[in-house]
Amino acid sequence: MRRAAGAVAVGAVAAVTARAAYAGLRRRPPAGDKTWTRTNHRGELVTLLEGPAASVGAIAAELICAAVAAKAAGRATDSQTQGATERSRGSRSSRGMALAGAGALAFGLIDDLAGSGKRRGLRGHLGALAHGEVTTGTVKLGGLAATGFAAAVFGHAASGHAASGHAASGHAASGHAASGHAASGHAASGHAASGHATDVMINAGLIAGGANLLNLFDLRPGRAIKVAVLSGCLIAAGGAVTGGPGPRASNGRPVGGDRSGGGRAAGLVAVAAPLGASLALLPEDLGERAMLGDAGANALGAMLGAAAARSLPRPARIGLLAGIVALTVVSEKVSFTSVIERTPPLRRLDMLGRRPTALSAPPAIDAVTDSPEAAIEPPRQRMGRHRRVEPGVGRVRSAARFFEFFYKTPARQKQ
């Protein structure tokens, strides 16, 4: 119960911080508002500031949580050694999640602000790299991989995965002392080290893969946040069912750890910050005033991957990583938007809270314009991707059409 209340508090802090960050960024956008303005799938102007705001909210909540846990661990007495150890692990795990989110945010911003959009997907960026062209997407992919590995190494010791390996190593050492078989002890110790490396690689894949996958859903208003919420609920439920990570008995049940049920609430605590921050800005996303962009989607996806690494046992993490890899590979050939449009339940969920599709039709060409150039429809942007808006272009075109209407209408009435 205490852990559930703590998760609610963390989510609330993330939500309040994200809203405050968004308001501040909108009031004084870095490098000017035009730097962050893009067009969405309707051709309407939206801002990318939602992504940095949501990321800052989630990261700040995790850092505050880490600071509180570290302070509580420092005040623990000798009789509270186990509780102090758990709080220290929680503090390190929170800092690992903050590291994952901050790294993904930084590399996502590079792609948002400097990317051209000519190369898309893993095949596009890796194909460009094969021809000697380094795109911002390639830099981001490499950065996400490095960030995922660093966060996995940083948070692994705190998550409890290493506990089983240390326990196995300890048992091997005691067996070695009793039986005198040195080879057996060394083999068990080597097995524990191998398990440690395996966990780090799985967790790194979850963090980097989660960051990339959530960005693939940021093609329609609210879609990426809805996917994040569903993913967070699954992670929390998985942690509750499996009992969280850590040492396990021969029957697969968790042993040791927090007897109050904190292990089963680990998933809920882990996903609280990214979900709280994203839900706080969901109205802006659904209202088509803002979008996550690469920065926001990458950061929230990376933090959800870190949450899974923090709260799920190895078999569950392997299955989740396999699903992420499969969806990423499929996305190179299949459009998620097309699949959602053809599947009624997914379409209803995707449209929940959004403006009706009928309103997305482009405005009709003014009937009073008789120039042949006006009848030519401008080239449409490829569906679902945002593009940079040239400074002042939208305002200039709108003003020209306004004055053109009042200039040509009286001339036509004289005829």
pLDDT reading at 172 higher than 80: no
Average pLDDT over every residue of 242-247: 65
> Which of 61, 60, 59, 57 has its CA nearest to residue 20?
57
- 2-6, 104-108, 163-167 — which is least confidently predicted? 163-167
Report the alpha-carbon distance of residue 390 to residue 34 in Å, rounded. 8
What 3 state SS string does 233-264 have?
HHHHHHHHHHCCCCCECCCCCECCCCCCCCCC
Give the relative orientation of helices 182-216 and 223-242 as an angle to the nearest 10 degrees.
150
Q: Can you name the residues that pair with 39 across neighbouring β-strands?
A: 45, 387
With both helix axes pointing from N to C terminus, report the angle between 293-311 and 50-75 in degrees, rounded to the nearest 10. Answer: 30
DSSP H/E element including 310: helix 293-311
How do residues 289-310 score in pLDDT, each as one tens digit?
999 999 999 999 999 999 999 9
Are the CB atoms for 348 and 232 separated by under 8 Å?
A: no
Give phi and psi for 46, each to the nearest 5: -135, 165
State which H helix or E strand residue 38 sits in: strand 37-39
**371-415 per-position pLDDT tens digit:** 444 444 444 444 444 555 554 444 444 444 444 544 444 444 444
Average pLDDT score, the chain = 76
Supply the pTM of this predicted model. Answer: 0.76
